[in-house]
Structure 1
Amino acid sequence: MNRLHQALFQPRRIALVGASSDRTRLTARAQLYLRKHGFAGDILPVHPREAEVLGEKAYPSVTDIPGEVDFAYILLGTQHVEGVVDAVAAKGIPAACVLADGFAEAGPEGAALQARLLATAKAAGLRILGPNSMGIINLNDRIACSVNAALEAESLPAGRIALVSQSGSMMGAIMSRGAARGIGFSHLVGTGNEADLSAGEVAGLLVDDPQVDAILLFLEAIRQPQHFADLARRAHAAGKPVIAYKLGRSPYGAELATSHTGALAGSDAAAEAFFRAHGIARATTLEGLLELPALLVGRKPLARPHRAVGVMTTTGGGGAMAVDCLGVAGIESRAPDAAASAALDAAGFAHHGRLLDVTLAGTKPDRVAAALNALQQAEDTDLVLSVIGSSAQFRPQDSVAGILRAREAGLAKPLAAFLVPQADQSLRLLAEAGIPAFRTPESAADCIRAWCDWRAPRAESAPPATPHPLPARPDEAEARRLFAALGLDSPFAVMSSADEVPEGIAYPVALKILSPDLAHKTEVGGVKLGIPDAAALKTEAAAMQARVAERAPGATLAGFLVQPMAKGLGEAILGFRRDPEVGPVVLLGTGGVAAELFRDVTLRLAPVTVEEAQEMIAEVKGLQLLAGWRGLPRGDLAALARAIVAVSHLAAREDIAEAEINPLMVLGEGKGVTVADAWIVRR
């Protein structure tokens, strides 16, 4: 383990700067909890006036502490932190945690203070956790260096799951929820503002820790995404799943109005694409965050998930709930196939439909085990789920015995359980046995969906350069020229004035105003379709110029764009965006003026491969009509996939914030695609 890991997670000498001798104060908690939960190292309180704090020798300043110090927890108010960080850095302490808030989250003055702290720390090689951090807990080594009130508990179960949380209060909440279920943690860390150490970097320190089998992330934002990418890649190689629960919408939403892509590619969709690309499993329920590790630990992502499960139940209503929630999550409860049916027949089980109801035999372990083993024979499911009724509450040993016995058969397919009643003892027994157990049908569906969605991290690839120059404020003509450089060339001409009618263009045509200021030209009367000839084109151009000038008086008008009318079998929106959290993403969806209304879209991190582009096409419902749905003509989906790949190569262009084709007309099979409208936003 490296020095930073040692300092954060296994310190032997801890300085508590600002420790209080008043046991009722927040700043006394870290010292009380360290001793309460068995810390055997040196606690070094720092207090300018007290010679002793809560029975430990105190020191007037960090400088006065003799010998080396592994870790400093700074418990002082915001206004006193800067001077203490200077002293901690001068002392040569490798890591410090800052409890106080009032830094970057509090406005410009707080941000400036945080920047000064960071500069001092970097110059001395000091790493900072926080500010606004509730500290670090290592339960296996009995180190509770935190002020989180969850540590008031008399005892906390240690385990092999690590939690890194950007929320300090949720760190304690998740720990206490786990303790109630018999789920123990190895480490819990609150990263706070992440002025220096990010959640991804802290979690990365735990990948090689022999006490850790899985890493949970409770995230409010994805900061320093390269750390998460590195964490996920190394964790996958080590066979340790990384599981994220991410909150909320991005604060950048108000800045996304320049294009449909900006409005559609919100932070949550971008985060989903980020997790998928890097092999981070995502839980969307808090219960799921606690319950998913048992399903993933010791397993690898499915190469080709069926997105289907076999369900056995001892309660009809409970089984129906599970089937319903699974279906909402996109997971099918599948009727037994030939192999499973044969095994059920041999064991004497009547079966039909999607649910194997063994209510009358439900508490007999040998019969439960036989039913589960039969369902495990299916070749078209990913998991077998046992739904247990009232016996889970009143006869916990009997209710789980059949599941334990079925596992002893050694079959590869995962077994899991949903307990319909409140059955804490049964949950605890299953947790101790390492069997995934779910408290609600919603969390069961969430975890099974996450299991099927879980991927190996994709291979890193660098997009090819597209050295096409762009002006500072590109209009649609410039956007089209860039897309042509990417291989998406569609015919058009430019009119500098209403009198300059282009030659050699095929009528009927579409006429559009050219302006770097107008992303949505239709709204100001800047688009006219189906113009039949040159005379009508000239007339309409003059009328359009007057109309747009009146409706958008502040817009720069650079002329007109003329293009032949094109009719495809379908319309797509194809966009690129440099997301403020996760970086370049490519978006595909149902296109046209209703793109934002239907929000039928999918995202990936850019660049993408042809295979990923094909996956994206399959995920957009509106594009399935082009795959020959019910005998309809087939569109050129191969050309669409190539277009997605081409647009994703804009990831190589640091000068582009957003780019969009909407609509991209998908022509008949073998006839390609046509750019109907294009837009680019420079950074």
Structure 2
Amino acid sequence: MLGASGVATKAGGRPLAYLRETGFAGRVYPINPRHRALFGFDCFPSLDALPEVPDLVVVAIPAEGVLPAVRQAAAMGVGAMVIYTSGFAEVGPEGGAAEREIRGICERTGLIVCGPNCQGIANLFNGLAVNFSTALSEGQPKPGPIGIVSQSGLVGALIASECMARSLGLGYLVSTGNEAGFEFADAVAHMTADPRIRVVVGYLEGIRDVARFRAAALRAREKGKPLVVLKAGRSSAAARAAASHTGALAGSARLHDALFAELGVMVEESLEDLVDAAVTLGAALPPPRGARVGIVGNSGGFNVLCTDDLHRFGLELASLSEPTRAEIAAHLPPFLPAQNPVDLASLPQADPATARALLQRVADDPGVDIVICCFGAIRAASAALTAELAAFARSAAKPMVAAWLASAPAGFVALSAAGVPTFTDPSRAARAARRLLDAAARPAGGAAPPADAAPADAASVAALVRQARREGRGVIGEAALLPALGRLGLRVPRMARVRTPEEAETAFAALGADGVAVKIDSPDIPHKTEAGGVALGIASPAACREAARTILGAVREKAPGAAIEGLLVAEMVGGGRAEVMIGIKRDPILGPFVAVGLGGVFVEILGDVAFRAAPFGEAEATALLRSLKAWPLLDGARDRPRLDVPALARAIAAVSRLAVAVPEIGELDLNPVLVGREGEGAVVVDALLRLAPAGAPRHGGGLMRNEAVEESGELDA
């Protein structure tokens, strides 16, 4: 411990007190030249005065001494460091430069650094608690199946404190801070590899390396261990706060959600929900086989509230069989119906053993997959009833969660200690049942992106992008883009670029089409219709000339500053039964995503858009389409004709490969793509490409606030 303190309330002292209390079996060396011993451990004046090279060095000294200490530790062959100290990338360029050097040392030497600006790590299985959080001073937590990783030390400590209050066993508590050499994903990978861990919960502000995160999440999924995150920075204002708080770009909430869904990461919306997820998924419950729920309680009102929440969370109220109802009826007064939800009235307090027997009968019913116990105002018989419920839970073949409302607190503690996920609200119990179903439904493993990431011919689009970059243009319009997309393998209409109304008249004759569309060609007008820049259904050369003249006049009036490169005359594409939008959105951290939704004006009005990280194949593209609310329109709902979904899926998959093959694409909008009936194909009739900013940042720094000072006061030199 470099910067060790004799004061147990300081960052340099509290971990030493923890290590003494936990009976950690390893050798501990406090380093402080002003002391001979601290907390019963012999003290040393400097790092190079230690009797051996330590496996782990914990740093609690002012910022100016940290970089020399990292250099010295790396030269000595130290394996890992935990750096509590703040004052790095979160405070400005000078601190950022020091942090980058720490990262470089890690990359060159293999040194593992947690932090800087973190609260440290705790392995509760072996007592290695080098985390200065006050949560660990609330009582030594029992080792258990929950791993906690947080990019905010205080938030991680709060999660740990709540878990400990519910008698849950903790395996790890890791605060990653600025992540100079050890990231959120690294902690997840380590925890899920430990057979003693059942679930990993985490607070996440930003993903630093999406490839590492993807690998860790897929590994967790392969092992059947839920990874549950609370993602901060979802609103634009919160994203700005997260950028200043962690220095890591938060990215788009929808893109994060798409990535999480793809990887099987479960997402919660509040700290309370995150702790409830830890309670539920950390319990050793059998996985549910389906969504049918049996409710057993002592209040009709509580049961009704719980039933409402079942439907809200996409669960079903189970139908009990006739034998089950008959057995229940034999123990209930005539005024109580023997049906689900089962109202036991006063029976749980009057006869806890019979209440357990009826609970067992409901659980044994073949139509029930999950059981929720919902008990309120249980006091006199609390110990007897909770003992019966705990005994049932230990032997049950189906999962049970409990709501314990306005009842003896000791009963809540007893149920929690027995491994029953227990809550103070029927809604939270119903939500827990949904979590169990979601965790059971997560597919094992995950398919890797297709190896043939490059489309048939991305060179034409790449050449356009390079030319635009040389010319200082950030936008490529459809006149140049559509022919390039045609060479990529996407279907596009025949077209001609012209500069004058007279050339438009000639182009009409050359195309030999029954009808054409005339559009303005300007990189400054992404929405042509609003500027009067589109005319459809032009059926003669003379009409084409007049349409071109009208468009030029309208655009000069409505967009006087726009650069006009000419006009586009394109054949009208018939047979389209639906308009679809296919797009590319590149996040500076997460990389390229493909967006799919209803096209035309509906994409902005309805917002029915689905995202998936690129690249992917046609099967994934079809699944993306199925996730849309508009899917029935494509699939032939209400006797409508089925549309050419295979052709549309091929186009979406090709765009996903283009996103990877040409990383200079910041955004691409193909809108609309006209989709015909089965066998008629899908045609891209409008397109716009925006280049990604040159040299866009891909990594950031760490926390803005000094959490060490906030919780523990001034660091002891």
TM, length-normalised to structure 1: 0.85
Shift of 1:554: 5.3
* Aligned twin of 2:275: 290
| Counterpart pick for 2:68 among 83, 96, 101 | 83
| Counterpart pick for 1:334 among 312, 317, 334 | 317
| Secondary structure of the structure 1 residue equivalent to 2:188 | helix
CA contact (8 A) 2:303 2:374 kept: yes
* Aligned twin of 1:671: 680
Structure 2 counterparts to residues 197-346 of structure 1, below 5 A: 197-249=182-234, 267-293=252-278, 295-296=280-281, 307-329=291-313, 331-336=314-319, 340-346=321-327
Structure 2 counterparts to residues 234-633 of structure 1, below 5 A: 234-249=219-234, 267-293=252-278, 295-296=280-281, 307-329=291-313, 331-336=314-319, 340-348=321-329, 355-363=341-349, 364-371=352-359, 373-374=361-362, 377-379=365-367, 382-391=369-378, 395-401=381-387, 403-404=389-390, 406-407=392-393, 410-411=396-397, 413-421=398-406, 424-454=409-439, 455-456=442-443, 457-462=445-450, 464=452, 465-466=454-455, 467-468=457-458, 469-470=460-461, 471-472=464-465, 473=468, 474-485=476-487, 487-498=489-500, 499-501=502-504, 502=507, 503-548=510-555, 551=559, 553=561, 555=563, 557=565, 559-564=567-572, 566=574, 568-633=576-641
Query: Counterpart of 2:477 in structure 1: which amino acid?
Result: D
Structure 1 residues 481, 154: CA separation in 2 closer, same or farther (over 3 Å shift)?
same
Q: Which moved more, 1:639-648 or 1:465-474?
A: 639-648
CA distance in structure 2 between the aligned counterparts of 1:362 and 1:563, rounded to whole angstroms = 76
Structure 1 residues 408, 626: CA separation in 2 closer, same or farther (over 3 Å shift)?
same
Shift of 1:333: 2.9
Structure 1 residues 528, 234: CA separation in 2 closer, same or farther (over 3 Å shift)?
same
CA contact (8 A) 2:643 2:677 kept: yes
Shift of 1:397: 3.4
Shift of 1:320: 2.7
* Aligned twin of 2:661: 653
CA distance in structure 1 between the aligned counterparts of 2:530 and 2:274, rounded to whole angstroms = 45
Structure 1 residues 29, 482: CA separation in 2 closer, same or farther (over 3 Å shift)?
farther
| Counterpart pick for 2:57 among 35, 56, 72 | 72
CA distance in structure 2 between the aligned counterparts of 1:596 and 1:541, rounded to whole angstroms = 28
Structure 1 residues 403, 22: CA separation in 2 closer, same or farther (over 3 Å shift)?
closer
* Aligned twin of 1:3: none
Shift of 1:200: 0.8
Shift of 1:102: 2.5
| Secondary structure of the structure 1 residue equivalent to 2:630 | helix
| Secondary structure of the structure 1 residue equivalent to 2:568 | strand
Structure 1 residues 526, 266: CA separation in 2 closer, same or farther (over 3 Å shift)?
farther
Structure 1 residues 367, 300: CA separation in 2 closer, same or farther (over 3 Å shift)?
closer
CA distance in structure 2 between the aligned counterparts of 1:253 and 1:41, rounded to whole angstroms = 42
CA distance in structure 1 between the aligned counterparts of 2:531 and 2:86, rounded to whole angstroms = 47
Q: Which moved more, 1:453-462 or 1:419-428?
A: 419-428
| Counterpart pick for 1:141 among 126, 139, 142 | 126
Structure 1 residues 588, 320: CA separation in 2 closer, same or farther (over 3 Å shift)?
farther
Structure 1 residues 594, 394: CA separation in 2 closer, same or farther (over 3 Å shift)?
farther
| Secondary structure of the structure 2 residue equivalent to 1:235 | helix
| Secondary structure of the structure 1 residue equivalent to 2:165 | helix
CA distance in structure 2 between the aligned counterparts of 1:53 and 1:556, rounded to whole angstroms = 77
CA distance in structure 1 between the aligned counterparts of 2:418 and 2:9, rounded to whole angstroms = 40
CA contact (8 A) 2:29 2:41 kept: yes
Structure 1 vs Structure 2 CA RMSD: 3.3
1:117 aligned onto 2:102: yes
| Secondary structure of the structure 2 residue equivalent to 1:512 | strand
Larger relative contact order (CA 8 Å, sep ≥ 6): 2
Question: Which digits, 9 at most, give the CA deviation of each residue in 1:159-210, with x for residues without a partner?
Answer: 2211111110012111110111111201101001112211111221233334
Query: Counterpart of 1:388 in structure 2: which amino acid?
Result: F
Question: Which digits, 9 at most, give the CA deviation of each residue in 1:450-482, with x for residues without a partner?
Answer: 444442232113253213222123322444345
1:177 aligned onto 2:162: yes
CA distance in structure 2 between the aligned counterparts of 1:73 and 1:254, rounded to whole angstroms = 31
CA distance in structure 2 between the aligned counterparts of 1:675 and 1:432, rounded to whole angstroms = 60
* Aligned twin of 1:12: none
Aligned residues: 651
CA contact (8 A) 1:20 1:53 kept: yes
Question: Which digits, 9 at most, give the CA deviation of each residue in 1:314-364, with x for residues without a partner?
Answer: 3222223333334333x1333416xx4553345438768874434354554
Structure 1 residues 560, 243: CA separation in 2 closer, same or farther (over 3 Å shift)?
same
Structure 1 residues 56, 204: CA separation in 2 closer, same or farther (over 3 Å shift)?
same
Structure 1 residues 266, 422: CA separation in 2 closer, same or farther (over 3 Å shift)?
farther
CA contact (8 A) 2:276 2:432 kept: yes
CA distance in structure 1 between the aligned counterparts of 2:55 and 2:184, rounded to whole angstroms = 21
| Secondary structure of the structure 2 residue equivalent to 1:72 | strand
Structure 1 residues 215, 490: CA separation in 2 closer, same or farther (over 3 Å shift)?
same
Structure 1 residues 398, 515: CA separation in 2 closer, same or farther (over 3 Å shift)?
farther
Structure 1 residues 31, 619: CA separation in 2 closer, same or farther (over 3 Å shift)?
same
Shift of 1:378: 4.3
How many percent of aligned residue pairs carry the same amino acid?
32
Query: Counterpart of 2:657 in structure 1: which amino acid?
Result: H
Query: Counterpart of 2:535 in structure 1: which amino acid?
Result: K
CA contact (8 A) 2:55 2:79 kept: yes
| Structure 2 residues not aligned, in runs of 5+ | 241-249, 331-335, 469-475, 693-717
CA contact (8 A) 1:491 1:564 kept: yes
CA distance in structure 2 between the aligned counterparts of 1:342 and 1:565, rounded to whole angstroms = 64
* Aligned twin of 1:158: 143
CA distance in structure 2 between the aligned counterparts of 1:639 and 1:351, rounded to whole angstroms = 55
Question: Which digits, 9 at most, give the CA deviation of each residue in 1:3-24, with x for residues without a partner?
Answer: xxxxxxxxxxxxx112233455
CA distance in structure 1 between the aligned counterparts of 2:69 and 2:382, rounded to whole angstroms = 54
* Aligned twin of 2:79: 94
Shift of 1:566: 4.7
Shift of 1:141: 1.6
| Structure 1 residues not aligned, in runs of 5+ | 1-15, 256-264
Question: Which digits, 9 at most, give the CA deviation of each residue in 1:352-407, with x for residues without a partner?
Answer: 8874434354554434543454355345x65332322222x664334445544554
